[in-house]
């Protein structure tokens, strides 16, 4: 389906651009157990004229390493110039202002979002999920 057509004029060259309209769809299946613990957010973006859909929930997982990163850098170019070239007496009078970065993020080495969906089976499903999690916990 041809939906858009435009002619672009350059110095001595004329080009025609034709774009096709491509269908885009997105769907997600969310298990009932996860949906019961989750929150769905729907809001309208006035600037873009679009709808934003968000979903937040909790799932089971095994904690891995924690990533910590702390750093600072001068707030702008003038602060960097002061830091590098000002004498100590001037830095005491006009100290350098910094922007601080503090990142502390927990990483997970194994997650099982559908473990509760398998639990009611009381047989094959729950055993397989639990065995898999135990194997993941034992591996470094």
| Local confidence pLDDT in tens for the 140 residues of the chain | 555 555 555 555 666 767 777 887 878 777 776 677 788 888 998 888 888 888 887 777 777 888 999 999 999 999 999 999 999 999 999 999 999 999 999 888 777 766 655 454 444 455 666 666 677 666 66
Looking at beta carbons, which pairs linking 119-128 to residues 24 or more positions away fall under 8 Å? Answer: none
Q: Residues with Cβ < 8 Å from 108, sequence gap 6 or more?
A: 61, 62, 63, 64
- Nearest-5° angle of CA 29, CA 121, CA 131? 90
Give the pLDDT score at 29.
78
Give the pLDDT score at 81.
96
Give the pLDDT score at 82.
96
Give the pLDDT score at 95.
96
Cα 42 from Cα 40, distance rounded (Å): 7
Give the pLDDT score at 92.
95
What pTM was computed for the model? 0.42
Instruction: Please give the structure tokens belonging to residue 80.
Output: 């960097």
Give the pLDDT score at 30.
74
The DSSP-derived string for 56-109 is: E---EEEEEEEEEEEEEEESSHHHHHHHHHS-HHHHHHSPPPEEEEEEEEEEEE
Give the pLDDT score at 71.
95
The DSSP letter of residue 119 is G
Give the pLDDT score at 8.
57
Give the pLDDT score at 12.
57
Inter-CA distances, 53 with 27, 33, 50, Å: 12, 20, 10
Domain residue ranges of the chain, discontinuous segments joined by +? 33-138
Looking at beta carbons, which pairs linking 130-133 to residues 24 or more positions away fall under 8 Å? Answer: 133/60, 133/62
Give the pLDDT score at 84.
96
């Amino acid at each position: 389906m041809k939906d858009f057509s435009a002619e672009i004029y350059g110095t001595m060259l004329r080009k025609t651009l034709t774009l096709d309209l491509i269908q885009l769809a997105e769907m997600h299946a969310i298990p009932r157990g996860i949906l019961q613990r989750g929150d769905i957010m729907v809001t309208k973006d006035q600037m873009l004229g679009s709808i934003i859909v968000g979903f937040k929930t909790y799932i089971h997982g095994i904690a891995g390493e924690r990533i910590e990163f702390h750093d600072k850098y001068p707030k702008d170019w003038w602060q960097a110039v002061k830091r590098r070239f000002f004498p100590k007496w001037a830095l005491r009078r006009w100290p350098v202002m910094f922007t601080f970065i503090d990142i502390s993020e927990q990483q997970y080495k194994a997650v099982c979002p559908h473990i509760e969906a398998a639990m009611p089976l009381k047989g094959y499903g729950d055993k397989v999920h639990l065995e898999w999690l135990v194997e993941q916990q034992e591996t470094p």
